[in-house]
Amino acid sequence: MATTERKPLLLDFEKPLAELATRIDQIRQLAEENGVDVSGQIRQLEARAMQLREEIFSSLSPSQRLQVARHPRRPSTLDYIQAISDEWMELHGDRCGGDDPALVGGVGRLCGQPVVMLGHQKGRDTKDNIARNFGMPYPGGYRKAMRLMEHANKFSMPILTFIDTPGAWSGVEAEHQGQGEAIAYNLREMFCLDVPIICTVIGEGGSGGALGIGVGDRLLMFEHSVYTVATPEACAAILWKDAAKAPQAAVALKIISHDLKKLGIIDQILPEPTGGAHSDPLKAATTLKQVLLENLDELNRLTAPERRQLRYEKFRKIGVFTEVAH
């Protein structure tokens, strides 16, 4: 059976890389057709391509990082769970009448240690995205997440959450079902859990939809992920009545990992492969697994009261500001 490789989905700023790759392929093909050895020149061009990729991805603007975070082939919650866990069993249902596919979770083992893992789940294509509601959970999704976290707490299993959503679903039906209450309940209850909680922003962390599973002892973030109170498009529409000013809003919102680390919002930045996590998902998963194990080792040494107190203090420090006299 013939197989075909998937064509890469290029972002606007990646076009120079694609042009250089095309040029290398053309030179290689011409050399083969004419029996000419151009291996030296090809090596130089490949080195230049690698250098150019590093230059581009080391200087991305906030709006460009947002594009990377939203890349359709960026690894999802289920991708990471399958890559890092020894065993995995997905659990379904909120015990209130439904099962939200936009938020998945279950029990598994991480290097032999029983854990509960849960997170937002986007789709890979239009059909899958519709089925997953583009990773925007209904209230039932957050109630399912809380049920799983309470299960983890009962059986002394650490909780690992993976954040990747534009935000909680804001439709009328979600409001009828108590969207705000479901998220607020999670925020309150996660502060009270005895077990270690590690939250990781793996893609797009948007608004209360991200916060609903984002209260933890550690908040990690992949290098090219974003974490924000509102999408830049929404912010621009509210402040300037013009969604075209989203790039300006992305800068003002401080949505990227390095800004959030300086502000004390996140605890650790996870480096991504050159070109983003989607360029080498297995390498990204290896990095994630290593960092999770390191943080779990530290948190497991603390008592439950110590973890709760440190969790409380961590979030009390967020929002501190200094007034500058003019």
What DSSP line would sit under 233-249, residue for residue?
A: HHHHHHHTS-GGGHHHH
287-303 average pLDDT score:
96
Over 50: is that where the pLDDT of 244 sits? yes
The total of other beta-carbon atoms located within 10 Å of residue 87's CB is 11
Distance CA 211, CA 42 (A): 48
Q: 60: pLDDT confidence band, cut at 50, 70 and 90?
A: confident
- The per-residue pLDDT for 289 is 97
Q: 4: pLDDT confidence band, cut at 50, 70 and 90?
A: very low
Q: Which residues lie closer than 8 Å to 296 by C-beta, 6 or more apart?
A: 110, 113, 158, 196, 198
How far out from the chain centre does Cα 166 lie?
11
Task: Compare 133 and 33 and report the one with higher pLDDT.
Answer: 133
Q: Which residues lie closer than 8 Å to 278 by C-beta, 6 or more apart?
A: 68, 71, 73, 74, 75
% of the chain exceeding 90 in pLDDT? 62
Q: Which two tokens stand for residue 200?
A: 């990781």
Q: 326: pLDDT confidence band, cut at 50, 70 and 90?
A: low
Q: What does the mean pLDDT of the chain come to?
A: 89
- The per-residue pLDDT for 7 is 61
Distance CA 83, CA 80 (A): 5
Over 70: is that where the pLDDT of 251 sits? yes
Over 80: is that where the pLDDT of 17 sits? no
Q: Which residues lie closer than 8 Å to 320 by C-beta, 6 or more apart?
A: 264
31-56 average pLDDT score:
75
- The per-residue pLDDT for 50 is 78
Per residue in 220-232, pLDDT tens?
Answer: 999 999 999 988 9
Would you say the C-alpha torsion 133, 137, 140, 146 has a positive or negative sign? Answer: positive
Over 60: is that where the pLDDT of 3 sits? no
Over 90: is that where the pLDDT of 8 sits? no
Over 50: is that where the pLDDT of 49 sits? yes
Per residue in 176-204, pLDDT tens?
Answer: 898 999 999 999 999 999 999 999 999 99
Q: 42: pLDDT confidence band, cut at 50, 70 and 90?
A: confident
- The per-residue pLDDT for 10 is 72
Q: 2: pLDDT confidence band, cut at 50, 70 and 90?
A: very low
Distance CA 161, CA 270 (A): 15
Q: What domains are there in the chain, each with its CATH number?
A: 14-59 (no CATH), 66-317 (3.90.226.10)
Task: Compare 164 and 319 and report the one with higher pLDDT.
Answer: 164
Over 90: is that where the pLDDT of 18 sits? no
pTM: 0.88
212-240 average pLDDT score:
93
Q: Which two tokens stand for residue 270?
A: 């996870």
Task: Compare 1 and 302 and report the one with higher pLDDT.
Answer: 302
Over 90: is that where the pLDDT of 94 sits? no
